[in-house]
A and B are shown apart, each in its own frame.
Chain A
């Protein structure tokens, strides 16, 4: 798998532990449905401490923090506020996480779904994202992720072996290609080999994927997570 290449019209990189990816799911799925095609959904497991420092909370209180300045903390809090605002308008709850999760198992499940039941991707994302952001899922537990797959109507037999074996190898090989390909965050979209970071580009991507009719749109977040216009 090459980071910028696909037979699908659009590659979508996401990470289950990203609140920005969470609020991008609804409008991205809306675009996929409108276009009547299958996007190439892929995992991009963020190494958050490498660019935002690390922290752990207990009962909402920060108990440890490393490498984060006050300015970084303010930026993170502001970004969460904005993501929460849009999540609420989409009908979701978004609770700040208590720690930086290892989301690799839940992200390898994205590969599992794409390789077996890509048409069930929406169901998997809906089974894992909202409960995780309500702090109801331990996504580091493989049985929890397997249960999400089953609830999405996707066979999970063999998933544990996949996430430890082939799936982990594919995930790690992809991760090694990300920076050289210009990919650094989620959600990221790849159209004709070009990277677009953030759901604010969905209006522009929609315009490109529907024949570039009329004036090209500027960046914009749909207030209610609907189809990018």
Chain B
């Protein structure tokens, strides 16, 4: 079993979706999807050179957007989306409460956000996705998502997508080759 922490609004999580589905099919491992509320990278509160700090953050973010677009194009995906449509807490809470295999819901939610530009913070939208994916979800409160986020950050889930195999955390889809080896070792 491979546990994967994702956020539907995160381009890094979106770009990991197809490679993770391929990994699951290849290795026969199950995927346990868990929510992670992604946030902007934090800058130090006190810097010896605030101008350099700001510049670093700006350049890093511009790079992140550019490089994600490059790899998205290789997958035939677009990362364009309407501005402001980045609330995903309702969908993440639904994922937290999902029973059983939530893969169909995850695939549908990513498509709804990135291709259909639907608002994943609206319950009607999320309920429709759950229904179409035949996925049952306990109706949890947003407090449950807050507590979950607090707990997983303490366990080292600091960004997304986070892949957890045998208790070991790896951040980013670039780790898939090593995760594949670890999964294969466990089934040998």
Q: Which residues of A contact B (CB under 8 A)?
A: 47, 49-54, 66-69, 71-72, 74-75, 77-79, 81-82, 85-86, 179, 182-185, 195-198, 200-201, 216, 218-223
Can you spell out 23 A-B residue pairs with CB atoms less than 8 angstroms apart?
A47-B49, A47-B52, A50-B47, A50-B52, A51-B52, A51-B57, A53-B47, A71-B42, A78-B156, A78-B169, A78-B171, A79-B171, A82-B170, A182-B63, A197-B63, A200-B172, A218-B19, A218-B71, A219-B71, A220-B174, A220-B177, A221-B177, A223-B177
* Complex Cα spacing A19 to B30, Å: 33
B24-56: which have CB < 8 Å to A? Answer: 42-49, 52-53, 55-56
CB contact between B46 and one of A67, A75, A85, A219 (< 8 Å): that residue: A67
CA distance A220 to B170 in the complex (A): 12
Name the B residues within 8 Å of A68 (CB-CB).
44
B99 in the interface, Cβ–Cβ < 8 Å?
A: no
Q: Is B124 in contact with chain A by the CB < 8 A criterion?
A: no
Of the residues B48, B59, B153, B158, contact of A182 by C-beta under 8 Å? B59
Chain B positions within 8 Å of A, measured between CB atoms, are 19, 42-49, 52-53, 55-57, 59-60, 62-63, 67, 71, 74-75, 153-154, 156, 158-159, 168-178, 181
Residue of A nearest to B53 (CB): A50
Question: Which chain A residues lie closer than 8 Å to B62 at the CB level?
Answer: 182
Instruction: List residues of chain B with CB within 8 A of the CB of A220.
Output: 174, 176-177
B residues in contact with A75, CB < 8 Å: 158-159
Q: 4 more A-B contacts (CB under 8 A) besides A77-B156, A79-B171, A220-B177? A: A47-B49, A51-B60, A198-B174, A201-B67
* A185-B60 in contact given A49-B47, A78-B156, A78-B171 (Cβ < 8 Å): yes
Contact of B44 among A72, A85, A195, A201 (CB under 8 A): A72
- Option from B42, B60, B178 in Cβ contact (under 8 Å) with A221: B178
